[in-house]
């Protein structure tokens, strides 16, 4: 949209905050029909640059306008003026919070763009995606002849991308070749394939407490007995781990090695060696979910490297480093296990998307992937500083301050029994919080909440949290 259509200037001497001035200017342009239903708004960066504003001021104004129903946010196409033809002319548009229930949290939240502040989400902000490389990769895909899309693709996934993944793993001292890699529709499908292939209803498995919430749902659907092992700052309590393994004889243990979801912690080398020693001793499979590796500082251990893919099955993907909508994950394992996993993959969903795999492969071929990962690390490090300070000022206790990765795990100044009520209150203010109960093996109530630093750098969020102390 031409910026000339938004002919306004912000008055820094006025008592009205800049964010409100931006909102009023856009609302006036809509009333005057300078902006009509469906018209795109300038990108956050473009408007900020044109008006000499902070991008955070513009982003906050856009989010408030989304909450009021004036504009809508669409992934991939930015912000547009909302179509209000079917709204009552006698009633101002009002945002209504969705019902906070399991169905919304597990599925609808991913499609619900009406919640302006997604403090509890699990993905990088859309503004941080490498738009140039992504569009270039898609244009390259569009130049292929249609006949190249005439089949389902290979059961193990696109061969050249598997080679590229193996090369990435070898850089991390994981002994991977083409034959060790199975591509999947994201890391979550990879976890599901491992569960379906290695485990049977009634089997016992160990998870970290807290851990990835979708993993818990996968394990419950599979009819497994789930036991939590407390995640500490450096790993797991070795005495508790060995006692539980001896008593329960689990078939597998699921571990987030680096920048764990939701605590943000990373295993120490000592904890990693202890874990592998015990699981080898008792014949326990270790499923290493290492999806945040590209965001982690150098030096965090990798179980698959220490184990050489013997009894460790390694899972990762590109949704955290390239784009969430590119559901491209992978499994690295010994070839015998990998063949079984490929059979399961074909049985429950046929091949993974070669279109998405080609896009990822093209991005890796361009050679800018490492540079973008460095950019993300820098953005996240800056966000960690700001959000950690905001949490401290709002009276939130930090479990760990990693300075890297997506997440901070914070305890709000409330009783555990109040967590669901607080999450519902927050949603009525346009804020999505992620209570700790979602990440606990038995849905235990908790005062701890997960915060995504990329989406939590918003004064409205911390204004709300400060009200909890009253």
For the chain, the first-to-last Cα distance in angstroms comes to 45
Write the pLDDT tens digit of every residue in 52-89. 888 878 888 888 888 777 888 876 668 888 875 544 33
- C-alpha distances in angstroms, 47 versus 12, 59, 74, 82? 16, 10, 18, 19
Contact yes or no for 53/12 (Cβ under 8 A) = no
Q: Are strands 397-398 and 71-74 parallel, antiparallel or unpaired?
A: unpaired
Contact yes or no for 235/272 (Cβ under 8 A) = yes
Quote the distance between the C-alpha of residue 396 and its chain's center.
Answer: 22
DSSP string computed for 237-255: -HHHHHHHHHHH--SEEEE
Contact yes or no for 161/360 (Cβ under 8 A) = yes
What integer pLDDT is reported at residue 151 of this predicted model? 76
What integer pLDDT is reported at residue 193 of this predicted model? 97
What integer pLDDT is reported at residue 91 of this predicted model? 38
Is pTM, for the whole model, over 0.95?
no
Contact yes or no for 423/433 (Cβ under 8 A) = yes
- The domains located in the chain, with CATH, are 3-81 (1.10.10.10), 102-129+371-467 (3.90.1150.10), 133-366 (3.40.640.10)
Intervals of the chain under pLDDT 50: 86-98, 101-104, 107-108, 111-112
What integer pLDDT is reported at residue 88 of this predicted model? 39
Interatomic CA distance for residues 69 and 130, integer angstroms: 28
- C-alpha distances in angstroms, 400 versus 296, 394, 411? 15, 16, 11
The total of other beta-carbon atoms located within 10 Å of residue 138's CB is: 14
The answer for residues whose C-beta is within 8 angstroms of residue 448's C-beta and 6 or more apart is: 210, 399, 409, 410, 411, 412, 435, 436
What integer pLDDT is reported at residue 31 of this predicted model? 81
Interatomic CA distance for residues 400 and 273, integer angstroms: 22
Angle at Cα 395 formed by Cα 390 and Cα 398, nearest 5°? 75
Q: Would you state the structure tokens that stand for residue 400, as one six-digit string?
A: 């760990």
CA atoms within 13 A on the CB side of 467: 9
Q: Would you state the structure tokens that stand for residue 419, as one six-digit string?
A: 């967590």
The four Cα atoms 187, 188, 193, 196 give a dihedral, to 10 degrees, of 150
427's enclosing H/E stretch is: helix 419-428
Tell me which residue of 94, 65, 66, 71 sits closest to 83, measured CA to CA.
71
- C-alpha distances in angstroms, 217 versus 220, 224, 302, 329, 419? 5, 10, 25, 19, 20
Structure letter (DSSP) for residue 313: E
DSSP string computed for 84-146: -TTS-TTS-----PPP-SHHIIIIIHHH----SB-TT--S--GGGS-HHHHHHHHHHHHTS-G
Tell me which residue of 68, 88, 70 sits closest to 79, measured CA to CA.
70
Interatomic CA distance for residues 298 and 316, integer angstroms: 17
Q: Are strands 71-74 and 448-452 parallel, antiparallel or unpaired?
A: unpaired
């Amino acid at each position: 949209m031409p910026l000339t259509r938004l002919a306004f200037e912000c008055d820094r001497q006025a008592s009205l905050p800049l964010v409100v001035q931006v909102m009023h200017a856009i609302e006036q342009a809509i009333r005057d029909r300078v902006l009509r239903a469906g018209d795109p708004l300038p990108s956050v960066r473009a408007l900020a640059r044109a008006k000499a504003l902070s991008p955070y001021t513009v982003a906050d104004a856009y989010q408030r306008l989304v909450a009021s129903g004036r504009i809508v946010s669409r992934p991939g196409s930015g912000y547009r003026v909302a179509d209000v033809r079917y709204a009552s002319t006698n009633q101002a548009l009002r945002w209504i919070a969705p019902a906070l229930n399991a169905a919304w949290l597990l599925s609808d939240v991913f499609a619900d763009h009406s919640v302006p502040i997604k403090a509890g989400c699990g993905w990088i902000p859309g503004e941080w995606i490498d738009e140039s490389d992504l569009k270039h990769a898609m244009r390259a895909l569009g130049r292929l002849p249609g006949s190249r899309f005439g089949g389902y693709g290979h059961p193990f996934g696109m061969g050249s991308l598997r080679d590229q993944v193996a090369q990435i793993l070898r850089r991390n001292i994981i002994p991977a070749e083409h034959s060790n890699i199975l591509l999947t529709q994201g890391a979550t499908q990879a976890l599901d394939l491992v569960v379906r292939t290695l485990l049977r209803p009634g089997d016992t498995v160990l998870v970290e407490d807290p851990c990835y919430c979708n993993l818990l749902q996968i394990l419950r659907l599979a009819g497994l007995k789930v036991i939590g092992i407390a995640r500490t700052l450096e790993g797991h309590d070795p005495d508790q781990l060995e006692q539980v393994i001896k008593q329960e004889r689990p078939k597998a243990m699921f571990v987030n090695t680096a920048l764990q979801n939701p605590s943000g912690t990373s295993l120490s080398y000592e904890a990693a060696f202890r874990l592998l020693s015990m699981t080898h001793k008792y014949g326990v499979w270790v499923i290493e979910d290492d999806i945040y590796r590209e965001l982690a500082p150098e030096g965090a251990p990798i179980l698959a490297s220490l184990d050489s893919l013997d009894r460790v099955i390694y899972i990762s993907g590109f949704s955290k480093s390239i784009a969430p909508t590119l559901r491209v994950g992978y499994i690295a394992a010994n070839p015998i296990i990998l063949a079984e996993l490929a059979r399961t993959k074909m049985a429950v969903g046929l091949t993974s998307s070669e279109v998405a795999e080609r896009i990822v492969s093209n991005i890796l071929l361009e050679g800018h992937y490492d540079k973008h990962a460095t950019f993300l690390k820098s953005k996240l490090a800056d966000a960690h500083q700001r959000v950690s300070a905001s949490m401290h000022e709002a009276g939130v206790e930090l479990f760990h301050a990693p300075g890297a990765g997506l997440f901070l795990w914070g305890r709000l100044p409330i009783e555990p029994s109040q967590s669901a009520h607080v999450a519902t209150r927050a949603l009525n203010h346009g804020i999505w919080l992620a209570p700790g109960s979602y990440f606990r093996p038995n849905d235990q109530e908790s005062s701890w909440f997960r915060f995504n630093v990329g989406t939590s750098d918003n004064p409205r969020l911390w204004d709300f949290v400060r009200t909890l102390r009253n």
